[in-house]
C-alpha cells in the first residue's frame, strides 16, 4: 500500500496536528468518530488530550469494544501522551472524581498518568530514540511514563529514568507530542509500520 489510510481518533485532543503530520509522512489521513470509520482504516493514531474524557466518549459512542476488537486483530496503532495511556494494559492513577481511564489493553505495559506533574510542569527536551540517528525534540504536557513493560515490548526512548516511547508489534506509543514539532520521523516510522516496512 503506497499511501495507507490512517485514522486519527477525533473525539477530543489535538487531532488536526496528527492529520497534518501523517499526510506529511506519506499517509492519507482522516478523522475517526464512528464505528464504520474504525472498520475502514489501515492504522489509527490516538492523540493527546484527556484520557478519562476520551475513554468515556468511546463508551458513550459504543466504540470502545469495536476498537478493542480491531486492535486485538492487529490494527496498527500509535498513541501519543493520552493515547499512550489508553493503549496500556494497566493504568496507575487512572482517574479522579470516580471517572476512570479505560485501558484498550493493546500494549503489555503499566502507565502512570500525569507522571511528570501537572500542566505547569510541562517541558521540552531532546531524547535519544532507538533507530533514529539524531535525538527527537520531545514535548511533554502532563505526560505519563511507563512503569512496567511486558515481554515483547521494546523501549525506544527514556527520560528521567522511565520509558517514554515503546513498541510492541504493530503498536507504538510515546509519552510526548511529536506532532507539535516539525519533525515527522516518528509519524514516518508509524506509517512504515502500517505498510509493514518497519
CA distance 45 to 92: 22
pLDDT at 164 over 90: yes
Local confidence band at 116 (pLDDT 50, 70, 90 cut-offs): confident
Domain locations in the chain? 5-195
E strands, the chain, where? 5-9, 28-32, 43-46, 77-80, 88-92, 107-112, 123-127, 136-140, 145-149, 154-159, 162-168, 171-174
Contact 163, 198 (CB under 8 A): no
Q: Is the pTM of this model over 0.75?
A: yes
Query: 198 CB contacts (<8 Å, ≥6 apart)?
Result: 189, 192
Residue 45: strand, helix, or coil: strand
Confidence of residue 134 (pLDDT cuts 50, 70, 90): very high
The string of pLDDT tens digits covering residues 34-52 is: 999 999 999 999 999 888 8
Residue 142 is labelled as binding a ligand: yes
Mean pLDDT of 15-29: 96
pLDDT at 145 over 60: yes
Q: Per the residue annotation, which of 39, 81, 124, 147 is the catalytic one?
A: 81
51 annotated to a ligand binding site: yes
| 188 carries a ligand binding annotation | no
Q: Which of 18, 56, 177, 187 is catalytic?
A: 177
- Is 85 flagged in the annotation as binding? no
CATH for the 5-195 domain, from 3.40.350.10, 3.40.50.880, 3.30.365.10, 3.40.50.740: 3.40.50.880
Query: Which residue has cell 500525569?
Result: 114
Is-catalytic flag, 81?
yes
- The CA distance from 136 to 145, in Å, is 17
- 91 annotated as ligand-binding: no
pLDDT for position 132: 94
Please compute the mean of the pLDDT values over residues 97-123 and round it to a whole number: 78
- Average pLDDT over the chain, rounded to whole? 91
Per-residue pLDDT band at 98 (split at 50, 70, 90): low
**Is the CA virtual torsion 125, 21, 76, 39 positive or negative?**
positive
Active site (annotated) includes residue 162: no
Active site residue 187: no
Amino acid at each position: 500500500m503506497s499511501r495507507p489510510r490512517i485514522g486519527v481518533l477525533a473525539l477530543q485532543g489535538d487531532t488536526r496536528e496528527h492529520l497534518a503530520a501523517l499526510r506529511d509522512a506519506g499517509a492519507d489521513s482522516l478523522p475517526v468518530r464512528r464505528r464504520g470509520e474504525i472498520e475502514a482504516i489501515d492504522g489509527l493514531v490516538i492523540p493527546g488530550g484527556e484520557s478519562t474524557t476520551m475513554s468515556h466518549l468511546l463508551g458513550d459512542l459504543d466504540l470502545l469494544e469495536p476498537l478493542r476488537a480491531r486492535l486485538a486483530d492487529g490494527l496498527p496503532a500509535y498513541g501519543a501522551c493520552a493515547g499512550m495511556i489508553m493503549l496500556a494494559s494497566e493504568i496507575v492513577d487512572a482517574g479522579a472524581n470516580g471517572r476512570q481511564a479505560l485501558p484498550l489493553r493493546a500494549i503489555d505495559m503499566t502507565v502512570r498518568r500525569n507522571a511528570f506533574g501537572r500542566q505547569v510542569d510541562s517541558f521540552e527536551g531532546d531524547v535519544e530514540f532507538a533507530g533514529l540517528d539524531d535525538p527527537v525534540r520531545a514535548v511533554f504536557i502532563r505526560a505519563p511514563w511507563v512503569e512496567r513493560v511486558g515481554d515483547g515490548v521494546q523501549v525506544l526512548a527514556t527520560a528521567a529514568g522511565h520509558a517514554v516511547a515503546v513498541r510492541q508489534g504493530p503498536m507504538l506509543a510515546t509519552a510526548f507530542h511529536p506532532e507539535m514539532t516539525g519533525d515527522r520521523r516518528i509519524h514516518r516510522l508509524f506509517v512504515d509500520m502500517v505498510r509493514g516496512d518497519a
